[in-house]
Structure 1
Amino acid sequence: MPAQTSKRVRNTQLRRHFLIGNEAHVLPHPSFPSPPPDGHTKGWKVYVRPLPNGPDMTTWLKKVQFKLHHTYTDASRMIEAPGPFEVTETGYGEFGVEIRLYFAPESGEKAVYREHYLVLAPYGSDEQKARQSRENAVVAERLETIEFNEPTLDFFRAMTGEEQFTWLKVVKKGKGKGKKAEMVFGSEVEPTAQLPERPVGGLEGGGGGLGAGGAWSRVYERQVVAQLAQSGASLEQALEHEKREMDSRRKKMEELGLAIATK
């Protein structure tokens, strides 16, 4: 474990939400070289990103290692802060990307592993697939959470400081003579290290199956929980039906065995 730079803050937990995902496009596409390499039909980007209204990731994340399929030249890619923490490539097949997250030295924490399966083909409902094909854009991402239990004092100060939200500010020109420009938050959503109550940018429910980062919110979280509860109830009904069918088959088998035995 990296050496601790300060004592730890007892009975305290820090939590950060972030996104791991990929976007993919059918080639040719303006974001990728033309002509593409022989046999390569898709251009893609795999990434680790902050939430749209969240704090600066580099407060706690200093390096990200992406391990691609072994057929890629230099399959292990290390991206250091300030990032962006992403790898852009072209190819034709889907595979699992190993991701290793390295934290700020003052955190005193070990690196952790995550994995993302590269999604290149449209997915979801027929409507969602049609939209992805029409826009030539497939986005597959998920919300991840990192928890730091009893952080070091130096790390705690960095993670609770105002400076981590500076990246969300934009320059606002002063109105009137002698008014100076100032830095203000560019979004109507209040910056927070937690999930916002409503989606950033007004997106609802995961961006229509595209996994758009702006849709991650408590509203969407409740939708997902409700969907899981509904799926769980449907599964329970299916299991109960199968149990009744199994009991009925067992009873018939027993009756058939008894009938054969008495002949």
Structure 2
Amino acid sequence: MPAAPSKRVKGTQIRRHFLIGNTAHVLPSPGFPDPPPDGHTKGWTVYVRPLPNGPDITTWLKKVQFKLHHTYTDASRTIEAPGPFEVSETGYGEFGVEIRLYFAQESGEKAVYREHYLVLAAYGSDDQRARQERENKIVAERLETIEFNEPTQEFFKTLTSEEQFNWLKVKKGRGKGKKPDFIFEGAVEPTAQLPEKASEPGQAGAGGAWSVQYERQVLAQLQQSAAALDHSIEQEKRAMEERRRRLEEVGGAIGAK
């Protein structure tokens, strides 16, 4: 008989941040067939990954299904824990990859869907595009968040256990017969939250490593873009009104003849 479902922790919400994205390279490139398949110009990897300083993603994510373009053999690819949750292929065109996330059985949560549009061409500012072409590496990723509302008691213990950060630490022995220590040696302390600042430049969004600071920068850029768009719309409205007025004048002049 299946185990009875665990009770839920009332009034509790736990969030997990993670990354969905892809890398892409002009072929030939290490790690991809050489020579590449006929007509294929790019090698790419689409992935679901934890934050660089975040908890072990497999504490809550147990399986990821990637649905590729129908022209690929076995277009539906399923990757189970411990992963890595990624699929590598070669091709020439961009398309949307459907992604289905399956959670740990003890969570009692249903699978959820996400989608990532495969980016194969350089993007961003002139400097950013030049760097991507020079390094032959495109990185297109975004930050995603999963919210577990009132998780089961068993799942709550997993999500709050210190052991989920062991993957970020170095295992060091303490002598024969003694339990080893796990020591963190990185520049950014492990946390389930976004760090305030990145410890070093990264590839996130062709800008910098994911952090609260970078998130604020992205939001500010979006606000500026929205303001510029609103301004353009207002200008077009005024121009349209002026065109309408002129057409009425022309129509009136023609009618008067």
Q: Normalising to structure 2: TM-score of the pair? A: 0.88
Residue 196 (structure 1) shift: 0.7
**Would the aligned equivalents of 1:53 and 1:168 in 2 still touch at CA under 8 Å?**
yes
| Structure 1 residue 185, shift from structure 2 partner | 1.1
**Contact 1:62–1:103 (CA under 8 A) maintained in structure 2:** yes
2:181 counterpart of 1:187: no
Matches within 5 A, 1:124-135: 124-135=124-135
Shift of 1:256: 4.5
How many percent of aligned residue pairs carry the same amino acid?
73
List per-residue Cα deviations over 1:12-68 (Å, max 9, x = no partner): 111111001111112222222322222222221111000000011111100001111
Aligned to 1:56: 56
Q: CA deviation at 1:125?
A: 2.1
SS in 1 for 2:241: helix
Distance 1:41 1:248 in 2: 49
1:6 deviates by: 0.9
Secondary structure of the 2:196 match is coil
Residue ranges of structure 2 left out of the alignment (5+ in a row): none
After superposition, the Cα gap between the structure-2 partners of 1:42 and 1:239, relative to the gap in structure 1 and judged at 3 Å, is closer
The Cα offsets for residues 229-249 of structure 1, whole Å up to 9 and x where unpaired, read as 111222222222223233333
Superposed CA RMSD = 2.4
Return closer, same or farther for 1:38/1:4 CA change in 2, 3 Å cut-off: farther
Distance 1:139 1:252, change over 3 A: same
1:218 aligns with 2:178: no
Cα distance change, pair 4–142 in 1 and its aligned pair in 2 (3 A): farther
Of 252-261 and 185-194, deviating more is 252-261
Q: Do the aligned partners of residues 3 and 122 (structure 1) sit closer, same or farther apart at CA in structure 2, a change above 3 Å counting?
A: farther
Q: Is the 8 A contact 1:60 1:104 kept in 2?
A: yes
Q: Distance in 2 between matches of 1:169 and 1:190?
A: 10
Distance 1:43 1:120 in 2: 9
Q: Which residue is 1:242 aligned to?
A: 236
Question: In structure 2, the residue corresponding to 1:202 is in which secondary structure?
Answer: coil
CA distance in 2, matches of 1:4, 1:218: 40
Deviation at 1:261, TM superposition (A): 5.4
Q: Does structure 2 retain, via aligned residues, the 8 Å contact 1:141–1:211?
A: no
Q: Which residue of 2 aligns with 1:141?
A: 141
How much has 1:257 moved relative to structure 2?
4.7
Residue identity matched to 1:49: R
Q: Distance in 2 between matches of 1:28 and 1:253?
A: 58
TM-score (norm 1): 0.87
Deviations 1:203-238 (A, max 9, x none): 16x55x5366xx100000110111111112222222
Specify the alignment match of 1:198 in structure 2: 197
Q: Where do 1:1-263 residues align within 5 Å? A: 5-171=5-171, 182-199=181-198, 201-203=199-201, 210=206, 215-259=209-253
